[in-house]
Structure 1
Amino acid sequence: MGAASDVTDADFDEKVLKSDKPVLVDYWADWCGPCKQLGPIIDELAEAYGDKVAFFKLDTNANPRTPADNNVLGLPTIQVYVGGEVVKAFKGAQPKSVLLGAIEEYL
């Protein structure tokens, strides 16, 4: 399916909360080293599972409202949404196996 898509404060509700399939959101910032390490892993998962799960990246510098509304207190943060609700959340860089396990739980 390709790499993860961008999501913003303006379209978060539509793309994430109203999605009819599970969604993984990667909250990141350009100054965050672990975020840069996690980015390619998210893109790999999006390539492999993008037909079953929506993958989005949210730049917290450009979009401060959504992280504040969703209790994102550190970066990177990964949240998995099902039916508009957070069902899993991870703070800090996670190995691919952990993220894969989290999304496979909801397929």
Structure 2
Amino acid sequence: MASGKSFSEIINSDQPVLVDFYATWCGPCQMMQPILQETAAKVGAKAKIIKIDVDKNPLAASKYQVRGVPTLILFQHGKPVWRQSGVVPAHQLIQVINRQVAETA
């Protein structure tokens, strides 16, 4: 995380934060990369998207019961409000983020 903020500081922001729990050796995780880029381009500043390597951050993975990768969790004010494991299409991620933004507006 280049911002220098801790994981808890990032997910506790007012803005929704989509976290991709992934592993470098995971094929489906690699498939998520262009999907996340497309999602980020479409939602812009409405949400932040970060990636957490479960092998380098086992405590974060354990805290949120991440059993398989990729697992995507959307946080709002530090609380998980949506989660899904496996490859999720960009249109679904965009819908989830837009719905969360609308609910908190």
Instruction: Give the TM-score normalised by structure 1.
Output: 0.85
Q: What corresponds to 2:6 in structure 1?
A: 11
Per-residue deviation, 1:96 = 1.4
The structure in which a higher percent of residues are helix is 2
| Structure-2 residue corresponding to 1:23 | 17
Displacement after TM superposition at 1:61 (Å): 1.1
Residue 36 of structure 2 aligns to a residue whose secondary structure is helix
Instruction: State whether residues 42 and 94 of structure 2, in contact with CA within 8 Å, keep that contact through their aligned partners in structure 1.
Output: no
How far residue 50 of structure 1 moved from its aligned partner, in angstroms, is 3.0
State the one-letter code of the partner of 2:64: N
| Structure 2 Cα separation of the partners of residues 21 and 36 of structure 1 | 25
Correspondences of 1:78-89 after superposition (within 5 Å)? 78-89=72-83
**SS of 2:13 mapped into structure 1:** coil
Preserved contact between residue 43 and residue 94 of structure 2 (Cα < 8 Å): no
Q: Percent identity?
A: 35
Aligned counterpart, 2:33: 39
Match of 2:48 in 1: 54
Give the gaps of 5 or more residues in structure 1. Answer: 1-5
Q: What TM-score results when the alignment is normalised by the length of structure 2?
A: 0.87
Unaligned runs of 5+ in 2: none
Offset at 1:95?
1.3
Match of 1:73, as an amino acid?
R
Q: Which secondary structure state, in structure 2, belongs to the residue aligned with residue 57 of structure 1?
A: strand
Aligned pairs, number: 99
Q: Counterpart of 2:20 in structure 1: which amino acid? A: D
Residues 14-56 of structure 1: per-residue CA shift (max 9 Å, x gap): 111x211111000111110000001111122112223110111
